[in-house]
Amino acid sequence: MNIRMEHDTMGEIAVPADRHWGAQTQRSLENFKIGGQRQPKEIIEAFAYLKEACALANAAAGKLTEEQAQAIAAACREIRAGKWDEEFPLVVWQTGSGTQTNMNVNEVIAHLAADRGVRLHPNDHVNASQSSNDTYPSALHIAAALSVTNQVLPAAERLAAAFQDLENAWPDLIRIGRTHLQDATPLKFAQEVSGWRNLVEAPCRMLRTAREELCRLAIGGTAVGTGLNAPRGYDEAVCGKLCELTGLPFQPDPNKFHALTSKDALVFSHGALKALAANLMKIANDIRWEASGPRCGMGELRIPENEPGSSIMPGKVNPTQCEAVTMAAVQVMGNDAAIGFAASQGNFQLNVFLPVSAYNFQLSARLLADAMDSFRVHCVEGIVPNEEKMKENLNNSLMLVTCLTPKIGYEQAAACAKKALHDGTTLKEAVLSLGLLTAEEFDETVRPEKMV
């Protein structure tokens, strides 16, 4: 392998000649061979937004020339476009402040600028007016806000729209309800689906609220929150540029001592992701229970048959999309615990659990977005209710007795239900045998369409 020698304050180190990173990146590669999970690409993209905004703000403050700022900005645009993904090899499990990833970005930008004939120092120029202690927390928030905006919310909106279509397709179909896994009173199938739709939409409202907190950035706090080495108004200028670049309303956190040490906004936002995961778990479980069978289960829904379900049982088809969603939901719930523990570790002026927080948040966002799209395309859009089975279960339910309570009272209604269950007869037969109503009175009273 061809190498070149790079240096930092600790001396020289050999770096692969075909790479754009420098000494500090190489040291991290050699010192942290842990796990193999690389820094999320969303974090690198967020750094590329941040470094461009910082460069432009520094140029306006006279700390960089226009040529230097534009060279940094050009490199950042190429990084965001994915042109240099292999230049960011560092793992999650490194220094807890993310310093080495910040320097990885600085070094790559400096070398890309050098390719254009502009000499930049990774610290003096690319990192001007910054510290890893305010850039990584800012990149963490930028990445989280962008992932919520560009990945999670659009996928959720598409899934909610698919449920709306299912509602509209079956406006009058009545089915039996169930509570405690036991028969309950009837409802419309569309009403049940509307509940599923809102289980997706409600966490989206929470995510939009939480995004406001994510848009408060630590940038400008530098090392410990005092803003040392940053020009006056720098934080406002950087956030203004970020608003232009991303379209999101970023603003400086007014208290940098809070911003550097607390990850409460991330906890709040991931809590909304966990709420979405919990709701998706409920929806997927409902659908796979109601599609169970095909002959010995509930069998009230038909879902797409996407692939063989068994290596030993011919013809078996399983609710695989539902299972994938529930596994993703479990992972998100675990990620939430990791983020909560990490956020509790903001000792003194800095939280040093930043990369693990970034990794888990981005994993959750990616999983939920992908799972919702897959679930929608390969399951929800193909759901068809089994009308005959729904009607059979509806007419066979003893809980239709509920509408008799105003006529014959709770205790006599309960006696009718228990008699029908004990004798293996219909509810109507039990009522008639007890002489509580005539057949005509029963038929006029027990009408499921009036119970929904």
The verdict on whether 20 is a catalytic residue reads no
Query: Among candidates 367, 362, 437, which has minimal Cα distance to 405?
Result: 437
- 187-191, long-range: CB < 8 A, 24+ apart: 187/452, 188/452, 189/385, 189/390, 190/166, 191/452
Q: How far apart are the C-alpha atoms of 101 and 349, rounded to whole Å? A: 20
Positive or negative, the Cα torsion across 346, 351, 353, 359?
positive
| 120: nearest Cα among 195, 77, 68 | 68
CB contact burial 278-288 (16+ within 10 A = b; e otherwise): ebbbebbbbbb
Active site residue 310: yes
Q: What are phi and psi of 147, to 5 degrees?
A: -65, -40
Catalytic-labelled residue, pool 180, 344, 357, 364: 180
Report the C-alpha gap between 267 and 140 in whole angstroms.
Answer: 12
Gap between the Cα atoms of 349 and 100, Å rounded: 19
Phi-psi region at 159: left, alpha or beta (left = phi > 0; alpha = psi -120 to 50): alpha
Write down the catalytic residue from 7, 121, 310, 433: 310
Rounded CA-CA distance 75/115 in Å is 10
Catalytic residue numbers read 180, 310
